[in-house]
Structure 1
């Protein structure tokens, strides 16, 4: 009997020791899992921060590409605006001088007035001044539009979604990119999206700009870019088709991979299309590509159309 009790005590001791080892092991594993989870959380935050940096770097690269074209776009209207103002200043001074001449000639005869009219060409001044003013205002409006579109592209609140007219956003982005492509690319547009989309306009503008600039770089010599938009019952479809050099099947399969680029070293980061796909995915949409080597490339973006609530409306 005593032996049986001793065996039971030993068995209980072994079980207790086994449970303790199991608990110690479980605690150790739990602590390791907690530490790993903390490391993963830290890594995830780091990756998110790195992703934001990559997006901003790509945007800065795009803005850098636009800088020369935008400078030219601003310089042209600013140039003729300044010239017009200088000529207008001379005209106004002539009119003031003419008025002074009339004041000094109280006893002037009609023939003298006609002579003064001929000297200062009053009829021409009256016709030219409104034209100059209208052209000057047009130039200043063009400058304001270019600056507004550039600020819109680089806006800080780009993550905030809002109701946006996609066709208007496309037109703004095409205007912004005009300085880079207008001398060798003819742009043909066909826009027909009537419904507003709930989206991040800054991010979508970045996608559109990237596809436009890519098309311009893919066109050797002179070529065409067709940009169209239309809507189905539940989707907005935007297409960018060019007649550039195109891609073979191997490059087409990699085109959305991060850091993949066919551009020469120093000409591209290889992030533009990868970031574009991420942005479209964030909008619950899709982006696909079709391309034939030597014939051109077409990108198709599909974005969901959601109904506005009464508050939104």
Structure 2
């Protein structure tokens, strides 16, 4: 539900650039989380991906579970992130975008939300091949 509502709420960004969204959800494990904050994390990642990609790009959102966590991957086929920037993208106020429209707080917020849930966020990127953000949320028996 969180993934679908995040995609739906992000549709203006996606439609504007004619970005195809491919869903690959292979889990039926219930995720206990703060739905509003988790939705905002996904929306932030989707928006960043849409801004990075050219028109007619592809965004792949996958979800699966391991024995310990629910894993959500947000993968784009954009230009990728420079290696020197990868070490700084989660720092508050770091941005590669136009500073007049962006404060560089989105990924720092995402990291904070994931830590509050006992989870983590990682990134893999290769210049020219795209970027994948990997969210891991621990599987718990009761609500967070």
* TM-score over 0.5 for the pair: yes
- Aligned-pair CA distance for 1:265: 2.5
5+ long unaligned stretches in structure 2: none
2:136 aligned to which of 302, 305, 312:
302
Mapped to 1, the partners of 2:28 and 2:122 lie a distance apart of 23
Mapped to 2, the partners of 1:265 and 1:256 lie a distance apart of 16
Aligned residue number for residue 216 of structure 1: 50
1:177 aligned to which of 10, 17, 33:
10
Q: Does 2:65 correspond to 1:225?
A: no
Mapped to 2, the partners of 1:197 and 1:204 lie a distance apart of 10
What SS is found at the alignment partner of 1:197? coil
- TM-score of the superposed pair, with normalisation by structure 1: 0.44
Higher strand fraction (1 or 2): 2
Mapped to 2, the partners of 1:299 and 1:278 lie a distance apart of 15
- Aligned-pair CA distance for 1:261: 0.4
Count of equivalent residues: 142
Deviates most, 265-274 or 254-263: 265-274
1:139-182 per-position Cα deviation (integer Å, ceiling 9, x unaligned):
xxxxxxxxxxxxxxxxxxxxxxxxxxxxx110011011111112
Higher helix fraction (1 or 2): 1
Aligned residue number for residue 284 of structure 1: 118
Mapped to 1, the partners of 2:9 and 2:42 lie a distance apart of 11
1:50-92 per-position Cα deviation (integer Å, ceiling 9, x unaligned):
xxxxxxxxxxxxxxxxxxxxxxxxxxxxxxxxxxxxxxxxxxx
- Give the ranges of 4+ consecutive aligned residues of structure 1 lying more than 3 Å apart after TM superposition: none
- TM-score of the superposed pair, with normalisation by structure 2: 0.94
1:253-312 per-position Cα deviation (integer Å, ceiling 9, x unaligned):
11101000000122311000001000000000010001111211000000100124xxx8
Aligned residue number for residue 68 of structure 2: 234
Q: Which has the higher contact order (CA 8 A, sep 6+)?
A: 2
What value does the CA root-mean-square deviation take over the aligned residues? 1.2
**The structure with more radius of gyration:** 1
5+ long unaligned stretches in structure 1: 1-167
Mapped to 2, the partners of 1:175 and 1:307 lie a distance apart of 28
